[in-house]
Chain A
Amino acid sequence: MPESPEVPPPAAGTVHEWLAVRPEGLLCLPGGFYIDPLRAVSSAVITHGHADHARPGNGDIYATAQTLAIMRCRYGDSCAARQLPLAYGERHRFGDVELWLAPAGHILGSAQVVLEYRGERVVISGDYKRQADPTCQPFQPVPCDVFVTEATFGLPVFHHPPIATEVEKLLQSLQLFPQRCHLVGVYALGKCQRLILALRALGYSKAVYLHGALVKLCELYEREGIALGKWVKVSEVGDIDSLAGEIVLAPPSALADRWSRKLPDMLPCMASGWMQIRARARQRRVELPLVISDHCDWPALLQTLEEVNPAQLWVTHGREQALVHRAQQLGYRAQALSLLGYEEEESG
């Protein structure tokens, strides 16, 4: 079957017979669609709802129903001309290309994009993690020929402890400083809700107080069937001094902002994979760093590589050089794809 006329011919940015890196992002040539495009395009597959991967203004978008719900919540109903939900494992054809989504374990609705064309399978993982997370389905390793991975924490210094250890630190600090308001910086989508569930799992049943910017997404998670327990908007607390000894969640940008000044004897905390590096924590004036990440740490990246066992590894964003080097040592063909525009930081 001849290729459709819209398909651009292979060009300088072609890294593979049927995939190319364009200024807009990664393009599937025979399918004519982009994966997580950085600029508006006519046809796109979206791995997950974080703003650097899911942008508004595209024509057709294919994603899980949850990702589409997140995009509508952030950008409104007109976030794309046509929204086409795909369930995990449901196959969709673009000419000769078959596409399906597999769970990525990153946040609610996050997916890996599996492309099959002429007997070759390419998996674009998007962002993913291997730690347990009750807010989303666990990562599913899909054996493939080409595995496209992120490397946000792609250095051997990164080891993310179990989330319970880190949340336990927060609870201990609350005991030690019962008069201090513990303000935790969290990413609004994913980290916030996962942290609340981890607190609940350790028996913390008190209300959790939320910055206004976190409310819409928490409501969305609850509509998706993820119960977060009792939470209260900080703006609806009558006596702000009553937040002494309570947990307040806010986007990281609010930590050192005027907003946080009103809180009683505020103790700045932050939940992020970067908190493992002291200078990063201190740079943000964080006094209680919590190493909680929705990405893979170094051992998990290598474990995944082993399980997926691809003929080729492509590393998109993050600390790509180290992962490419290690993969080559392990006998994989590996290269860095210079896809700029995805955030290196999971900051808000």
Chain B
Amino acid sequence: MEHFAALLDKLYFTSGSLAKGDLLKQYLRRTPDPDRGWAVAAIAGTLSFDLFKRHTVKQLIGERMDPLLFELSYDYVGETSETVAHLWPVSPGAGRLERLPSLGEVVAQFRQRDRAAVADYLVQLLDAMNASQRWALLKLGMRGLRIGISARLLKRILAEYGSVDVSEIEALWHGLEPPYTDLLNWLDGRGDKPDIGDRVTFQPVMLSCPLEPEHHHDIDADNWQAEWKYDGIRVQLVGKAGGKALYSRSGDDISHSFPDIVQAVDFSAVLDGELLVVRNGRIGSFNELQQRLNKKKPAKRLLAENPAGLMIYDALSLDGEDITALSLLERRRRLAQWLDAKAPPGILLSPILPFADFAELRRLHRRADQGGGNYIEGLMLKHKHSPYLPGRIKGHWYKWKREPMLVDAVMMYAQRGHGKRSSYYSDYTFGLWQDGQLLPIGKAYSGFTDAELKALDKWVRGHIVARFGPVREVEKELVLEVAFDSAHTSSRHKSGIALRFPRIHRIRWDKPAAEADELATLKKKSNLAG
């Protein structure tokens, strides 16, 4: 455990992926199995425990600590593991451990023990550790180490460690499980390449870059294909002899939430598309889809009211044949044929939008701006000769989002941010007028420059009228021009409205608050009932 904690500490403070890679490779060479594999799992975020979770930790510290002091500390530090690592009060009469157990031993204990015994073990370890070891230990239970090593970088480092191509690691990765002993032994040259056969696995998806004005002249009708950009959830649908599954774009298995999609899979293919609500061939809004998300066991009524469907735009394999190396043109031709023959229920093919020149594309983009039936958020432009490549590789796929909507709102409340922003009032709640009263419609904490943040912070401090815990109510004087992607109805807010991705577009120091927008205007603009 000492070595693992030291590794995390070094990785955290070392900048530069080369230096991080060297540290990790050195650790892999020097550390025995299964410890090193568990460390890889912790870094990859594939290690989790049923009984050691964020909640376990919060409960333990809650029993030992004043809640307000914890809350204030957390607001400052910005992260639970580190807050607890610093705050942990060593139990009275705690016996010192001669030395800390190995990482493998710690993992095994957390897996074997029952709930009460897991908590005891955690206390025993925390009592025996220093602050940075506690941080490393707690990170194991919380997932997401945030040490500056992405999943992609980790795979690259593993590939370098074993002198293999990173695509080999990518292809294997989702078929393997921690502590990755077979993989590491193969990379060490001491074993065969692991065989994942027919296992159902997620393959990293191809991502797009935002279309910038300087790209416009590259886009022509000969080489580029245009499609709508749908306002849903990017997914990968996998059918294999070994099983079937629906994955989110980060590789989380979300099959349980969408039995209506997964049950219908009776084919062998890996399809790439957008998850939407599709009712009798008509596409529903994101708002409707949202009700289907994060439901472990969706109720029958929900399934009937908001049936899920897929808008497919690409395929990674069809009938067992990997087609990622083929051009988009060819993949698309085969996909269309395949879908025609199978006609799986609830699965649509994303139509190709014909255009002759960029001026026509612009017109299509403007149509997306004008609402696009509530499920289109812009255009996708894809190079016809591009292979299917995992990750965000420049020059192949572009997204051209519709222009954000704008509204002039009045700042109502402010709160300090987290972490490096914890000394600034950086989170703002804003509202619109209705019958001479302001109703909050959302909260934003981005979109401004550092200089603007300083000015906003100063303004807030000079205009506080009331305090509610960490929240400061301010004088209703400052108008914020807020940009957002779309507005939806919401029963959570008194205003009955919720914004997607609101951010501060401009600070209207000049505009009197009385001239900010009315709630009714926003509802009308967004085609929402008043």
Contacts and interface: CB of A to CB of B under 8 A. Distances in A.
Do these two chains interact? yes
Interface of A: 155-159, 276-283, 285-289, 319, 321-322, 325-326, 329, 340, 344-345
Contacts of A340: 461
Contact of B86 (A159, A285, A289): A159
Contacts of A158: 86
Contacts of B73: 155-157, 322
B78 A279 contact: yes
Given A157-B77, A326-B69, A288 B82 contact: no
Given A276-B86, A289-B13, A344-B423, 14 more contacts: A155-B76, A157-B77, A159-B86, A277-B77, A278-B12, A279-B78, A285-B15, A287-B14, A319-B72, A322-B72, A322-B73, A325-B68, A325-B69, A345-B423
24 contacts: A155-B73, A155-B76, A156-B65, A156-B86, A156-B87, A157-B76, A157-B83, A157-B86, A277-B82, A279-B82, A279-B419, A279-B420, A281-B13, A282-B13, A285-B15, A287-B15, A288-B13, A289-B13, A319-B72, A322-B72, A325-B66, A325-B72, A326-B66, A329-B66
A321 B420 contact: no
A155 B461 contact: no
A24 to B, nearest CB: 16
B76 A319 contact: yes
Contacts of A155: 69, 72-73, 76
B404 to A, nearest CB: 29
Interface in B67-106: 68-69, 72-73, 76-79, 82-83, 86-87
A289 B131 CA distance: 14
The winner among A158, A278, A321, A345 for most chain B CB atoms within 10 A is A278
A283 B420 CA distance: 7
Contacts of B419: 279
Q: Which of A282, A286, A326, A344 has the most chain B CB within a 10 Å cutoff?
A: A282
Nearest to B16: A287
Contacts of B77: 157, 277, 279
Interface string B411-442: 00000000110010000000000000000000
Task: Give the interface centre of A157, A158, A288, A340 by most chain B CB atoms within 10 Å.
Answer: A157
A281 B78 CA distance: 13
B317 to A, nearest CB: 41
Interface in B116-171: 135
Nearest to A268: B15
A179 B418 CA distance: 37
Contact of B13 (A157, A277, A286): A286
Contacts of B79: 279
Nearest to B469: A321
Nearest to A343: B423
A280 B65 CA distance: 24
Contacts of B420: 279-280, 283
Contacts of B14: 287
Contacts of A288: 13
**A158, A281, A319: most-surrounded residue (chain B CB, <10 A):** A319
B72 A321 contact: yes
Residue of A155, A285, A287 with highest tally of chain B CB at under 10 A: A155
A280 B78 CA distance: 10
A159 B88 CA distance: 12
A280 B12 CA distance: 12
Contacts of A285: 15
A226 to B, nearest CB: 32
A122 to B, nearest CB: 26
Among B13, B82, B83, B423, which residue has the most Cβ atoms of chain A within 10 A? B13
A182 to B, nearest CB: 14
Most chain A beta-carbon contacts within 10 A, residue among B72, B78, B423 = B72
Nearest to A287: B13
A328 to B, nearest CB: 10
Nearest to A288: B13
B69 A322 contact: yes
Interface string B26-67: 000000000000000000000000000000000000000110
A282 B11 CA distance: 11
A278 B419 CA distance: 9
Nearest to B462: A340
Contacts of B65: 156
Contacts of B15: 282, 285, 287
A170 to B, nearest CB: 14
B66 A157 contact: no
Contacts of A286: 13
B12 A282 contact: yes
Contacts of A287: 13-15
A157 B87 contact: yes
B251 to A, nearest CB: 27
B82 A278 contact: yes
Contacts of B69: 155-156, 322, 325-326
A282 B72 CA distance: 21
Nearest to A326: B69
A281 B13 CA distance: 8
B339 to A, nearest CB: 48
Q: Which 4 A-B pairs have the closest CB atoms?
A: A157-B86, A279-B419, A322-B72, A283-B420
